[in-house]
Amino acid sequence: MGSAMFSILLPIALALVMFGLGLTLTVGDFTRVLKYPKAAVIALVCQMIVLPAICVGLIVVFGLEGVLAVGMMLLVASPGGTSANLFSHLAGGDVALNVTLTAINSVLAVFTLPLVVGVSMASFLDGGASVGLQPAKFVQVFAIVLIPVVIGMAVRSRFTDWAERMRKPVKIGSAVVLVLVIGAAIAQEFQTLVDNIGTLGPVALALSVLSLAIGYYVPRLFRVDRGQAIASAMEIGVHNATLAIAVAISVLGDKAMAVPAGIYGVLMFFPAGIAAVLLSRTRERAPVS
């Protein structure tokens, strides 16, 4: 599959995924945050400020450089993945809070993601200071991420029954296209993946474990109830690797930059699954928060 096909198919596939997300959202998902502002604010601060700082620490400790370092920062700047809702449900978390956080994160990422990538490129790439903050690239992220979500929400609002029927087909169809396109992209960078799996594997696992731990224990420290802390853990601990890969390839035009997210996207299911099992078991033993 050629570069021209990537540049066309990947944004379309991602836009479909974001449209599918929009079909599941209502204005109430954004306003619901007013019911539990503390849980939402703590989760967002962890995701927007604490995790990027931790990721920088991991990059330094593990000696990552260049596009791979930027790829890790791109991953950590991406909002929670849609599988966060599933893991939260399995662990006994407040899934409504997950939906709200995903909705808010998807909007905030339009602004924070180009900023984090711009600073990362300035820090880790020679002469890359202006790349991440180019207005055209900012607009591309905006168009790929936010606009399809808004359209999906508008369609749901106007044609609720149709939106309910289409949620599953849109989700399955876009997921299939994404898997094929991303699989082909990673295949093209297979040597980069093989060369760096020894370094990137431990970094990805460490990021996943730390994200889950921070997402759970920081809210608990501030006396957020257990269900909301679990939702926060999954939202913060399950990054949207798909979005990071899509932005790396289609917006920034660098397949090697997508490799960290590709490795993370596979490995993070193990810590997230283990966390979900452990949290659901402790819930059964101690139902009182």
List the domain boundaries for the chain: 33-128+179-281
Q: What is the mean pLDDT of the chain?
A: 81
What pLDDT score does 217 carry? 95
What pLDDT score does 171 carry? 66
Fold entry, domain 33-128+179-281: Na+/H+ antiporter like fold (1.20.1530)
pLDDT (tens digit per residue) in 86-132: 788 888 888 888 878 887 887 888 788 888 888 888 888 875 544 44
The mean pLDDT of 171-186, rounded to a whole number, is 66
What pLDDT score does 50 carry? 94
What pLDDT score does 131 carry? 46
Which residue has better confidence, 57 or 286? 57
Q: What percent of the chain has pLDDT over 90?
A: 25
Contact of 207 with 46, CB cutoff 8 Å: no
Residue 12 has pLDDT above 90, yes or no: no
Alpha helix segments (H runs only) across 46-159: 51-62, 66-77, 83-91, 95-124, 135-158
What pLDDT score does 129 carry? 46
Binned at pLDDT 50, 70 and 90, residue 137 comes out as low
Binned at pLDDT 50, 70 and 90, residue 168 comes out as confident
3-state SS class at 171:
helix
- What residues pair up with 80 in beta bridges, in sequence order? 239
Residue 222 has pLDDT above 60, yes or no: yes
Residue 232 has pLDDT above 70, yes or no: yes
Task: Output the six-digit token pair for 5.
Answer: 């096909």
CA 162 to chain centre: 27
pTM (predicted TM-score): 0.78
CA dihedral sign, ordered 40, 45, 51, 52: positive
Residue keyed to tokens 């974001």: 18
CA dihedral 234, 225, 280, 274 (to 10 degrees): 30
The amino acid sitting at 179 is: V
